[in-house]
């Protein structure tokens, strides 16, 4: 069973009245969300409903049109960037780990080099120390023996686990997963989900996961949020959403994917 | 063997043309190709001897012309170095959202691609000193460049402008997800470029840059037209000086042309090896096709081949294609 939701844990992520438009098209229409330490939040909904955009707004890969984001005590509002804000965005990103649908590993580097790139280049940790930690993290995702391999020689599932290790190596306050299993062959999805589950249950990493894997959500998530046309239509524990669905839109979506 | 659809029942071909065709099929393609080259050289030899080609003069003076080769290689090497720096800056400018960077690089690429190289050389050599007149004495001298420096400056600027496009395309060939992954780690623009984007872009950039270097070696001859001193004279300048003095223009220019040809052939060989090496690991085995045997006979395929490097690069797995981003232009 899922652990009790950490109601009184420290606030890690706060999203306030977030709006995002691309031209005239409004993708996010006022999103509010708090995520506390150790919490796993699963975001789901139809494609185009804005779930990936929200995730990309949290670490400013997309600039929110308005509203505010707070991660690990750094608070930034939407709108234009300036020099000071750019540096703050960078600080915020160092506290945020992101795992992409397409892995986006650096192909010219080995798995280990991928993992230590952030600590060495961004955090200026000495390479020797970073390698020791990097190998530990690779072992954590079950890929200690692949440390010297280049991504092209790894399977999709292995690449995604290296990508998780790369994000983890920055010791982020929150990990963002943007449909981490959508690009994988069906038989490789399990190993990635198992890795993510171990991060949640053993390391108590705070995670926001955009996914269609409802089995993972039921098992691991503390909270689920259903996205519909740019708003969070329904939010609650997996039990509430799966067994006591309030909105017909949510019911229809769940029936379609389950 | 080709079967004759009309007279299939006849065992032996009849007539002169039919037998000739039969014979033709038996000769290997490479032998024919070699024969063509031999024929061309024989034709030229006959032509030259009819024009009283003076081989004795050529043997006596070849070394004087050859001594200029180092100038060719030196100018090309220095110019390609500066051209690469300019191309990198130009490409980063063309990809920048900053209006100053975008505008300056746009002007640079447009002007130096839109005007003849020889005009640029003369503009720098003869035009800059005139602009210098507007300045006071210590600065005025800065605008007065020697023929060699003017030539190197013009070659660097001109080739840099053309190579801006190569570098820009190389940077754009790196999938956008790479940049995003680097950004998500908290990398600065500089770190992203130096650690993630450029190392991948150079795979695409280096082969065509080799081509530019080879093309540039031929364009170094233009520097002669500025009137270089004899100590800085390249094979072309030496050939024209000597040829005019002795009325042996053909002999002198043939020596110079032969050297350029050999030089480009030499570097084309290395450029092709480099290209093959750069693509290993990125290219599926089947994509490495054997070059046609013709390559052995043509030292420098002028303006032609050896440009296939970029198209051979495989997109890393999981990426759908070249990144497309909302950029001006």
Judge if B42 and B82 occupy the same domain. no
Q: Which of B162, B146, B266, B275 is nearest to B217 (CA)?
A: B266
> Do B26 and B95 fall into the same domain?
no
Chain B residue closest to A168 (CA)?
B185
Task: Give B278's strand partners.
Answer: none
Looking at residue B271, what is its pLDDT? 87
Cβ-contact B34, B293 below 8 angstroms: no
Cβ contacts of B185 on chain A, cutoff 8 Å: 93-94, 117-118, 121-122, 166, 170
In a domain, B277, yes or no: yes
Same domain, B27 and B73: no
What pLDDT is recorded for position B114? 96
> For B145-161, what is each residue's pLDDT tens digit?
899 999 999 999 999 99
CB atoms B281 and A108 under 8 Å: no
Domain count, chain B: 2
Does A42 touch chain B if contact means CB atoms closer than 8 Å? Answer: no
User: Distance, in angstroms, between B281 CA and closest chain A CA?
Assistant: 9
For the cut 80, the answer to whether the pLDDT of residue A146 exceeds it is yes
Confidence label for B315 from pLDDT (cuts 50, 70 and 90): very low
Q: Angle formed by the axes of helices A186-201 and A156-168, to 10°?
A: 20
| Cα torsion B39, B41, B46, B50: sign | positive
Residues B22, B92 within the same domain: no
Same domain, B38 and B85: no
Determine contact: A247 vs chain B, CB below 8 A: no
Is residue B181 pLDDT above 90, yes or no?
yes
Residues B146 and B238 in one domain: yes
Domain-embedded: residue B31: yes
Share of chain B above pLDDT 90, in %: 57
Domain co-membership, B48 together with B69: no
A107/B184 CB distance under 8 A: no
Whether residues B238 and B149 share a domain: the answer is yes
pTM given for the model:
0.78
Query: What is the pLDDT, as a whole number, of residue B13?
Result: 62
Question: B149, B74 in Cβ contact below 8 A?
Answer: no
pLDDT for res B52: 86
State yes or no: ipTM above 0.90.
yes
- Give the mean pLDDT of A112-133: 96
Structure tokens at A198: 């171990």
Q: Are residues B155 and B70 in the same domain?
A: yes
More confident site: B313 or B64? B64
Rg (alpha carbons) of chain A, rounded to whole number? 18
Q: How many CB atoms lie within 10 A of CB B279?
A: 20
Does B114 share its domain with B25?
no
Which residues in B lie closer than 8 A to residue A106 (C-beta atoms)? Answer: 178, 181-182, 195-196, 200
The least confident of A190-199, B6-15, B172-181, B319-328 is: B319-328
φ, ψ of residue A50 in degrees (nearest 5): 105, 5
CA distance A42 to chain B (A): 20
Cβ of residue A153 closer than 8 Å to a chain B Cβ: no
Q: Is A177 near chain B, with CB under 8 Å? A: no
Residue found by looking up tokens 């050939």 in the block: B239
Residue B297 included in any domain: no
Is any Cβ of chain A less than 8 angstroms from the Cβ of B321? no
Query: Given this model, what pLDDT does residue B144 score?
Result: 87
User: Are B186 and A156 in contact (CB < 8 Å)?
Assistant: no
Closest CA in chain A for residue B318: A102
Domain identity same for B160 and B95 = yes
The mean pLDDT of B18-41, rounded to a whole number, is 92
B184 with A105: Cβ contact below 8 A:
no
Contacts of A145 (CB under 8 A, 6+ apart): none
| pLDDT for res B171 | 95
In angstroms, what CA-CA distances link B322 with A22, A132, B175, B181, B307?
Answer: 22, 35, 5, 16, 19
Chain B residues with beta carbon closer than 8 angstroms to that of A80: none
Inside any domain, residue B58: no
Query: Among all chains, which residue has been given the structure tokens 């029942």?
Result: B9
Q: Tell whether B302 lies on the interface with A, counting CB pairs under 8 A.
A: no
Closest alpha carbon to A163 in B178, B129, B252, B162: B178
Cβ of residue A106 closer than 8 Å to a chain B Cβ: yes
User: What are the phi and psi torsion angles at B29 (to 5°)?
Assistant: -60, -45
pLDDT digits (tens, 9 = 90+) for B84-128: 999 999 999 999 999 999 999 999 999 999 999 999 999 999 999
We report the CATH number of the domain holding residue B265 as 1.10.3720.10
Per-residue pLDDT at B297: 40
Q: Is residue B323 less than 8 Å (CB to CB) from chain A? A: no
pLDDT > 50? residue B288? no
**Is B188 a member of any domain?**
yes
Give the nearest chain B residue to A124 (CA atoms): B187
> For an interface test with A, which of B98, B185, B282 has the most A Cβ atoms less than 10 Å from its Cβ?
B185
Query: Between chains, do A104 and B318 touch, taking CB under 8 Å as contact?
Result: yes
> Taking a C-beta distance cutoff of 8 angstroms, is the pair A100, A178 a contact?
yes
CB–CB of A169/A115 below 8 Å? yes
B217's tokens: 């070696």
Residue B301 lies in a domain: no
- Determine contact: B188 vs chain A, CB below 8 A: yes
The answer, for A38 touching chain B at a CB cutoff of 8 Å, is: no
Nearest to A107 among B186, B195, B200 (CB): B200
Q: Do A102 and B196 touch (CB under 8 A)?
A: no
For residue A61, the chain B residues in CB contact (below 8 A) are: 180, 183-184
Of A45-54, A126-135, B183-192, minimum mean pLDDT range: A45-54
Percent of chain A with pLDDT strictly greater than 90: 88
- Classify residue B307: in a domain, yes or no: no
Residue B139's domain comprises 63-281
Residues B46 and B71 in one domain: no
Confidence at residue B323, expressed as pLDDT on a 0 to 100 scale: 38
What are A40's strand-pairing partners? A207
Q: Which helix (H) or strand (E) holds B50?
A: helix B29-50
In this model, does residue B237 exceed pLDDT 60?
A: yes
Residue in A91, A93, A108 closest to B184 by CB = A93
Instruction: Give how far A26 is from chain B: nearest CA, Å.
Output: 18
Residue B287 forms part of a structural domain: no
Please answer yes or no on whether A100 and B200 come within 8 Å at the CB atom.
no
Residues 6+ apart with CB under 8 A from B216: B76, B79, B80, B83, B155, B159
Nearest residue on chain B to A58, alpha-carbon basis:
B184
CA distance B98 to A141: 41
CA-based max dimension of chain A: 55
Give, rounded to a whole angstrom, the gap between the first and last alpha carbons of chain A.
Answer: 19
Q: Flag if B318 and A93 touch (Cβ within 8 Å).
A: no
Q: Is B196 on the interface with A (CB under 8 A)?
A: yes
> Any CB–CB contact under 8 A between A170 and chain B?
yes
Does the beta carbon of B184 lie under 8 angstroms from any beta carbon of chain A? yes
Residue A143, exposed/middle/buried by CB under 10 A (0-12, 13-18, 19+)?
buried
């Amino acid at each position: 069973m899922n652990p009790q939701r950490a109601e009184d844990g420290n606030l890690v992520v706060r999203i306030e009245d977030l709006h995002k438009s691309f031209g005239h098209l409004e993708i996010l229409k006022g999103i509010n969300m708090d995520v506390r330490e150790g919490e796993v939040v699963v975001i789901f909904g139809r494609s185009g409903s804005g779930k990936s955009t929200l995730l990309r707004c949290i670490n400013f890969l997309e600039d929110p049109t308005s509203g505010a984001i707070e991660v690990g005590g750094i608070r930034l509002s939407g709108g234009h960037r300036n020099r000071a804000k750019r540096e703050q965005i960078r600080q915020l990103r160092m506290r945020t780990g992101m795992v992409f649908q397409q892995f986006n590993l650096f192909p010219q580097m080995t798995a280990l080099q991928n993992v230590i790139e952030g600590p060495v280049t961004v955090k200026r940790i000495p390479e020797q120390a970073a390698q020791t930690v990097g190998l530990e993290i690779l072992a954590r995702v079950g890929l200690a023996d692949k440390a010297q391999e280049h991504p092209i020689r790894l399977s999709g599932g292995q690449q995604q686990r290296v990508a998780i290790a790369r994000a983890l190596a920055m010791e982020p306050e929150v990990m963002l997963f943007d449909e981490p299993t959508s690009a994988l062959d069906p038989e490789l999805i399990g190993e990635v989900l198992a890795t993510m589950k171990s991060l949640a249950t053993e390391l108590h990493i705070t995670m926001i996961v955009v996914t269609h894997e409802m089995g993972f959500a039921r098992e691991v998530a503390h909270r689920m949020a259903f996205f519909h046309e740019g708003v969070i239509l329904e939010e609650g524990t997996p039990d509430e959403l799966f067994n006591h669905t309030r909105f017909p839109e949510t019911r229809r979506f769940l029936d379609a994917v389950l | 063997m080709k079967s004759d659809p009309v007279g299939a029942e006849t065992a032996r071909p009849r007539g002169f043309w039919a037998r000739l065709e039969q014979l033709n099929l038996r000769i290997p393609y490479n032998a024919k190709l070699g024969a063509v080259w031999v024929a061309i050289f024989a034709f030229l030899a006959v032509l030259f001897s009819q024009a009283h080609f003076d081989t004795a003069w050529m043997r006596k003076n070849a070394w004087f012309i050859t001594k200029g080769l180092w100038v060719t290689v030196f100018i090309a090497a220095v110019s390609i170095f500066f051209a690469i720096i300019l191309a990198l800056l130009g490409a980063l400018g063309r990809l920048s959202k900053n209006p100053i960077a975008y505008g300056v690089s746009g002007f640079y690429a447009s002007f130096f691609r839109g005007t003849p190289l020889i005009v640029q050389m003369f503009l720098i050599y003869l035009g800059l000193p005139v602009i210098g007149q507007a300045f006071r004495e210590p600065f005025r001298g800065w605008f007065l460049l020697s023929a060699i420096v003017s030539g190197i400056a013009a070659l660097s600027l001109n080739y840099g402008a053309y190579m801006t496009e190569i570098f820009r395309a190389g940077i754009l060939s790196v999938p956008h997800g790479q940049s995003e992954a680097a950004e998500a780690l908290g990398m600065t623009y500089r770190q992203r470029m130096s650690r993630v984007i450029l190392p991948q872009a150079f795979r695409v950039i280096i082969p065509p840059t080799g081509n530019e270097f080879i093309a540039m070696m031929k364009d170094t001859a233009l520097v002669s037209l500025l009137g270089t001193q004899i100590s800085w004279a390249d094979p072309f300048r030496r050939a024209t000086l000597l040829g005019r003095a002795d009325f042996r223009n053909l002999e002198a220019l043939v020596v110079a042309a032969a050297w350029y040809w050999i030089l480009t052939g030499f570097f084309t060989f290395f450029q092709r090896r480099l290209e093959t090496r750069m693509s290993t690991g990125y290219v599926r085995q089947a994509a490495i096709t054997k070059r046609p045997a013709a390559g052995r006979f043509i030292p420098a395929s002028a303006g032609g081949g050896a440009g296939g490097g970029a198209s051979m690069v495989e997109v890393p797995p999981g990426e759908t294609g070249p990144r497309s981003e909302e950029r001006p232009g």
